[in-house]
């Protein structure tokens, strides 16, 4: 194997919630040295949110934090002290990249805005991954995931024709979108610096990244003045098109028939070949007109079969169908296991814990699965003495002064 892609990259992370770790995970897994600055005085929400290992709460026991934070270091630092700010400045002088996703103004309050960072290190790259960006009337609004998803209009697309908008099941939805944009932007900035020697500021608004998932609806509104219709699982171009109950407790399978050939194949599979020519269902338009009856017909068949059976027999006949996997299914999914997506690692407090690996497989430089998610402040001594060059006496002084909290 060759040298890790980001082996020489150094990142100082001033992060909160999920968007930071999900962005930095890509770089950490491929060799970057990532030091996350945090504090036990106001621990990250991902450290204090359930589920906890063995259902025992603890600042180092959250599944949220540990699942996404492998291969990173934790420096616990009280940024509201002069000594803490001095350590932060030393860390920035060491780093190639500073990433933050606080509400705009927090870094500036500490004297760590982009202009100040350039005084510390002229070629620094700063990634500001805030909710709404550093400009505009929304710039000071807190970036809660549920709020970001709502203001982007996503709930308007979710729900049933006779009901109102529904919230997204995972509240911090934009936290999972924004990191893809941030990673690409940072790689571009690194390339630019390698060619020119110049750093730059990346101002990324999570609000705006969410809109890329809504483009058809936005274009329809702009061109036709038409707002999205909430149609549950129905779409205009397919029927049957739904999630159907299967044999077993809370077991489901999706079926999506997009043309008459697939419909005829499905009819043969369920033992009703004559339905293919039934006037009620022979064309897509007629299937849409009689969709309620069609869904009832499908449910009567799927309920007697496991979702695995439904998927296998329909896919073999050329009909799109897929299991709705639950968490246990995903954890044991043979496809994911074969590709090594889950990394079991021994954590110092909670024992063996499964971390999320890399969904990208590079043939020459594999992602590393070497260091479990850190306990808070676990790398204080290493970062201060080995990375920043502090003496043992200086480390003890910081410790005694309550700076490393």
Residue 87 region, left (φ>0) first, then alpha (ψ -120 to 50), else beta? Answer: alpha
Pair 67, 175 in one domain: yes
218 and 142 Cβ atoms separated by less than 8 Å: no
Do residue 167 and residue 294 come from a single domain? no
From first to last of its 405 residues, the chain has per-residue pLDDT tens of 678 899 999 999 999 888 999 999 999 999 999 999 999 999 999 999 999 999 999 999 999 999 999 999 999 999 999 999 999 999 999 999 999 999 888 999 999 999 999 999 999 999 999 999 988 999 888 777 788 888 999 999 899 999 999 888 766 788 889 999 999 999 999 999 999 999 999 999 999 999 998 988 999 999 999 988 899 999 999 999 999 999 999 999 999 999 999 999 999 999 999 999 999 999 999 999 999 999 999 999 999 999 999 999 999 999 999 999 999 999 999 999 999 999 999 999 999 999 999 988 898 998 988 899 999 999 999 999 999 999 999 999 999 999 999
Residues 34 and 67 in one domain: yes
Residue 277 is part of which domain span? 241-326
Q: Are 196 and 300 in the same domain? A: no
The gap between the terminal CA atoms of the chain, to the nearest Å, is: 39
123 is catalytic: no
* CATH number, residue 89: 3.40.50.10540
- Whether residues 314 and 369 fall in one domain: no
Q: Is 226 helix (H, G, I), strand (E, B) or coil?
A: coil
Q: Residues 269, 355: one domain?
A: no
Q: Do 277 and 201 lie in a common domain?
A: no
What domain count does the chain have? Answer: 2
Flag whether 303 is in a domain: yes
Give a yes or no: residue 232 inside a domain.
Answer: no
What local confidence, expressed as pLDDT, does residue 167 receive? 84
DSSP one-letter string for 10-33: EEEEE--TTHHHHHHHHHHHTT-E
Q: What is the CATH number of the domain that holds 312?
A: 3.30.1540.10
Decide: helix, strand or coil at residue 309. helix
Residue 235 lies in a domain: no
Q: Which of 29, 96, 175, 295 is catalytic?
A: 175
Say yes or no: 28 and 89 in one domain: yes
Q: How far apart are CA 123 and CA 111, in angstroms?
A: 18
Q: Do 105 and 158 belong together in one domain?
A: yes
Assess whether 60 and 26 both reside in one domain: yes
**Total-model pTM:** 0.92
pLDDT for res 275: 95
Which of 365, 389, 391 is closest to 26 using CA atoms? 365
Q: How many CA atoms lie within 13 A of 347 on its CB side?
A: 25
């Amino acid at each position: 194997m060759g040298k890790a892609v980001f082996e020489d990259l150094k990142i100082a992370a001033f992060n909160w919630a999920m968007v930071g770790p999900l962005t930095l995970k890509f770089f950490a897994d491929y060799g970057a040295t990532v030091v996350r600055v945090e504090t036990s005085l106001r621990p990250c929400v991902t450290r204090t949110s359930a589920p906890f290992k063995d259902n025992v709460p603890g600042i180092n026991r959250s599944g949220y934090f540990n699942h996404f934070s492998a291969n990173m270091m934790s420096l616990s630092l009280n940024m509201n002290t002069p000594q803490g700010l001095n350590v932060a400045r030393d860390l920035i002088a060491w780093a190639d990249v500073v990433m933050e996703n606080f509400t705009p103004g927090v870094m500036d309050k500490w004297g760590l805005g982009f202009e100040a960072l350039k005084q510390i290190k002229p070629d620094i790259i700063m990634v500001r991954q805030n909710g709404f960006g550093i400009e505009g009337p929304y710039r000071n609004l807190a970036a809660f995931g549920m709020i970001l998803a709502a203001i982007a209009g996503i709930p308007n697309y979710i729900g049933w024709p006779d009901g109102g908008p529904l919230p997204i099941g995972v509240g911090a939805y934009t936290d999972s979108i924004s990191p893809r944009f941030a990673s690409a932007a940072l790689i571009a900035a690194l390339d630019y610096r390698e060619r020119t020697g110049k750093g730059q500021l990346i101002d990324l608004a999570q609000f705006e990244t969410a809109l890329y998932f809504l483009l058809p609806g936005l274009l329809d509104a702009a061109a036709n003045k038409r707002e999205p219709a909430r149609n549950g699982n129905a779409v205009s171009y397919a029927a049957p098109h739904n999630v159907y109950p299967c044999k077993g407790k809370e077991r489901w399978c999706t079926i999506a028939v997009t043309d008459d050939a697939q419909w005829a194949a499905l009819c043969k599979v369920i033992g009703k070949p004559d339905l293919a020519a039934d006037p009620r269902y022979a064309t897509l338009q007629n299937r849409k007109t009689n969709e309620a009856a069609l869904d009832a017909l499908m449910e009567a068949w799927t309920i007697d079969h496991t979702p695995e059976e439904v998927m296998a027999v329909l896919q073999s006949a050329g009909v799109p169908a897929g299991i709705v996997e639950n968490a246990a299914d995903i954890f044991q999914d043979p496809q994911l296991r074969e590709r090594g997506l889950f990394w079991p690692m021994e954590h110092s407090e909670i024992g063996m814990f499964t971390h999320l690996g890399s969904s990208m497989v590079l043939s020459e430089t594999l992602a590393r699965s070497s260091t479990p998610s850190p306990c808070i402040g676990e790398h204080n001594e290493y970062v201060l003495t080995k990375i920043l060059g502090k003496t043992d006496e200086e480390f003890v002084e910081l410790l005694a002064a309550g700076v490393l909290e």
